[in-house]
Structure 1
Amino acid sequence: MNRLTAFRAMHSRNYRLYFYGQSVSLIGTWMQRTAVSWVVYTLTHSSFMLGLSLFCTQFPSFLLSTAGGVVSDRYDRFRVLLFTQAASGVQSLLLAILIFTGHYNVWVILGLGVVLGSINAFDVPARQAMVYDMVDDKENLPNALALNSTMVNLARLVGPAIAGFILHKLGDGVCFALNAASFIAVIISLLRMKLPPYVRKIHKKAPLTELKDGWHYLRNTPSIARVILMLAAMSLFVIPYATLLPIYAKVIFHGNAATFGVIDSFIGLGAISGALYLASRTKNTTASRKKILRTNTIIFGVGLICFSYTSYFPLAMLFAVVAGFGMMAQTTITNTIIQTTVAPEMRGRVISYFAMSYFGMMPLGSLLVGTVSQYAGAQNTVLGEGLVALVVVAIYWKYLTTAARDHAKTAAERTSATVKQINTDTTWKKTARL
């Protein structure tokens, strides 16, 4: 792997600052996620409640992400991001205080999860759209998005392992306190960026109209809509297998919180390997991205099938790495296709549908997986999720093996035509009302 090729987006100062600050913050985020799952399962011993805890944290994204996309396109993304990061830090601090003082129960944890999910609904569209502004050479945008995935999965590798140790030795409150402190790093990195002055946009349309424009744009851009629908299916039926990892740690492998952290870290190891592979690629055509998405979805499904009934821990960790490698492509490839083809004025709104299909569908999937496992058992449920992954890739096989239809047109021409159509439709409707 060519190191300079794999990290070429780091030549952009603003992106480099963001990468360093966000890396620290994400380690804290994964520590908190691990701690919440462990605390909920320890309090309730219920796989359903595990699913419900993820539901409470992520379902607000399903309800509010499109509003977050409109906010991202209408207002200064830098200020939006500063606010959401600070608010997330306050949520973690409040959770730490409640844990340390003993004034908590499972419903308090779930309620604070709803608060965090609501913040994330506005954070994700602004943060993902702002990556485009941070990269000086737009040819390096796919590399920046792959490095984002590397950053997330490095945090997934390190965060749960640290959380497992801290949970076992120091207690859950320390995990939440450290996460609150980690937001200082990303806030400092944002404040040190040298971004162009924000030019206030004149918006002639109401926010609701802009929301509808985003939906019409997505309907008229099938190359984006299809990958978002595929991601939604995977997020609903397959990716929530992670909900059941505490059961694997405690019941199947007869371990403790540290065991849970190790499992999650091996999944992260596979994911970061896949992300680095993507970052090192120089061939970044739509056809090549779809081929990777197809192959990695198969790898993901096979990895889950093999992991589901493996009781020998070292072998199970090997399959966890395989599953993590395959899972990584679901979000990274989808995000790359969106960011490299979407019209700039629609970026925030389209990314909000990406967030809805991932963060919004996963809580429904977590609830579904938790409920199914109550009756079918954790191992049968994970086996079924692996099989569903293969069904999903079979459904989208034709699309994933076909090059872009309109290869004679550039992405800019297609997106420009779609935006013009939206503006024409809006003008026609206004005229009709008159």
Structure 2
Amino acid sequence: MNAKVEALGRRTFASLRFRNYRLYFVSQIISFSGTWMQSIALAWLVLDLTGSGTALGTVLAMQFLPTLLLAPVGGLLADRFEKRRLIMGTQTVAGLLALTLGVLTLSGVVELWMVYVLAAMFGTVTALDNPSRQTFVMEMVGTADVGNAVTLNSVVVNAARVIGPAVAGVVIAVFGVGECFVFNAVSYVAVVIAMFLIRRDELHAAARTPRAPRQVRDGFRYAWSEPILRTTIVMLVLIGTFTFEFSTTLPMLAEFTFGAGPTGLAVMTSLMGAGAVVGGLAVAATGPPTPTRLVAVAVGFGLAVGAIAIMPTIGLVYAVMPFVGVASVAMIAFSNATLQLHSDPTMRGRVMSLFSMALIGSTPIGGPIVGWLGDHTSPRVALAVGAVGAFAAAAYGWSQLLRQQDAAVPMAALEPAT
């Protein structure tokens, strides 16, 4: 029995045997805790300034629109340059932006237009940063362990979702939202230090792509020409646009449906994060992702989000949130690993920029739609639309599986690129 438990532990935490990944792992816990604190504080700041779900959705759109527009550029940079240095630069700039927002808020001069501008600047940094951070995981652990590392990275994000909102709820109640922005600024220092300590001779660095014309367009064409990449990205577009809008739907549900305030929002977000941590650890112990499992997870995601939409009390919402977390982390981990494993190394940065565009860059479209629905109908309707989006993604993925089977080329049988 002990031997089985030890073997399970080794499979679950396999990537942590790499020193570089351990440094990265710890720094991400600190950094993402600050990010989640800022996310809660930003939502509350906007609602305090405007009382409008539409304004909240617009701020999120301003934050994520640059990803829709600039992620391919970030992907090309990741393919061309040293990812470690790129990450150090983007994290430093993000920290300075968080500090600026904190100073403006603490001084009492912050206005909505300032939030819009800073949100857009945050989004620009994220667009250039995400492809490098996504693909740097593979450089730290290699192809064989990338699925495990990606999943553990998702666990980090969601562990921070437990820590960050819980701390943010206390900080906002006792001090205010400005202190959350300042803490987030400090948290970026952990990532910069980790990047300094990374041993470059232990990295599995891919060959850098030389400068050539039409490289961004070539990345789009490559991803669309590969069935498993195309199917995964389309599923992510649907789910990213309508389902992963929790930064808009949960604050509205907490405030306008249940009157639970920032504490209720923090509890919902923390419970979702706790479920994602448990689910992520379970996923980390499994084998490589398959398209069938990705479709099944999309169905589960839709069921969980749909359940939140119809829960009559906030206590029942709390009970369902961990299941939303499990489904969300499985969706992100399976799709991320699928794209990385099935991408040509020279195209991996550009493919992962499409991952960012589909999951994050879709928010400028979905955020205002979901916010408008919440304002003019109810937050429950906005959540129900998210459930429908997940079901639509599952239906599309299943139809592509059937098409591949009819063509006698099962998607699950495709070999990962090396």
Scaled to the shorter chain, the TM-score interval is over 0.9
Q: 1:398, CA displacement in angstroms?
A: 3.2
- 2-structure distance, mates of 1:246, 1:199: 41
- 2-structure distance, mates of 1:359, 1:399: 23
Write the deviation string for residues 208-231 of structure 1: whole angstroms up to 9, x where unpaired.
x21122122112212111101110
1:205 aligns with 2:212: yes
Structure-2 change in CA distance of 1:212 and 1:142 (3 Å): same
Structure-2 change in CA distance of 1:91 and 1:409 (3 Å): closer
Match of 1:181 in 2: 186
Match of 2:395 in 1: 394
- 2-structure distance, mates of 1:350, 1:388: 23
Match of 1:361 in 2: 362
- Unpaired stretches in structure 1, ≥5 consecutive residues: 416-434
1:132 aligns with 2:138: yes
Q: 1:400, CA displacement in angstroms?
A: 4.9
Task: Give the counterpart letter for 2:210 in structure 1.
Answer: H
Alignment: residue pair count:
406
1:333-352 matches, within 5 Å, as: 333-352=334-353
1:254 aligns with 2:259: yes
Write the deviation string for residues 173-206 of structure 1: whole angstroms up to 9, x where unpaired.
1100100010111111110010139899572513
1:224-303 matches, within 5 Å, as: 224-281=229-286, 283-284=287-288, 286=289, 289-303=290-304
Match of 2:70 in 1: 64
Match of 2:166 in 1: 161
Match of 1:432 in 2: none
- 1-structure distance, mates of 2:335, 2:341: 10
1:46 aligns with 2:64: no
Q: 1:270, CA displacement in angstroms?
A: 1.9
Write the deviation string for residues 247-268 of structure 1: whole angstroms up to 9, x where unpaired.
2222322222111111111111
Task: Give the counterpart letter for 1:311 in structure 2.
Answer: P
Please say if residues 373 and 381 of structure 2, whose CA atoms lie closer than 8 Å, have aligned partners that are also in contact.
Answer: no
Q: 1:167, CA displacement in angstroms?
A: 0.6
TM-score (structure 1 length as normaliser)? 0.89
Match of 2:381 in 1: 380
TM-score (structure 2 length as normaliser)? 0.92
- 2-structure distance, mates of 1:408, 1:126: 28
Give the match's secondary structure for 2:410: coil
Task: Give the counterpart letter for 2:217 in structure 1.
Answer: K
Please say if residues 206 and 345 of structure 2, whose CA atoms lie closer than 8 Å, have aligned partners that are also in contact.
Answer: no
Structure-2 change in CA distance of 1:364 and 1:400 (3 Å): same
Q: 1:385, CA displacement in angstroms?
A: 2.2
Q: Percent identity?
A: 31
Match of 1:371 in 2: 372
Q: 1:78, CA displacement in angstroms?
A: 1.2
Write the deviation string for residues 128-171 of structure 1: whole angstroms up to 9, x where unpaired.
11111111x53111100110110111111211111111111111
Give the match's secondary structure for 1:357: helix
Task: Give the counterpart letter for 2:263 in structure 1.
Answer: A
Task: Give the counterpart letter for 1:176 in structure 2.
Answer: F
- 2-structure distance, mates of 1:230, 1:86: 33
Structure-2 change in CA distance of 1:178 and 1:275 (3 Å): same
1:15-94 matches, within 5 Å, as: 15-94=21-100
1:6 maps to which of 6, 12, 36: 12
The farther-off stretch of 402-411 and 257-266 is 402-411
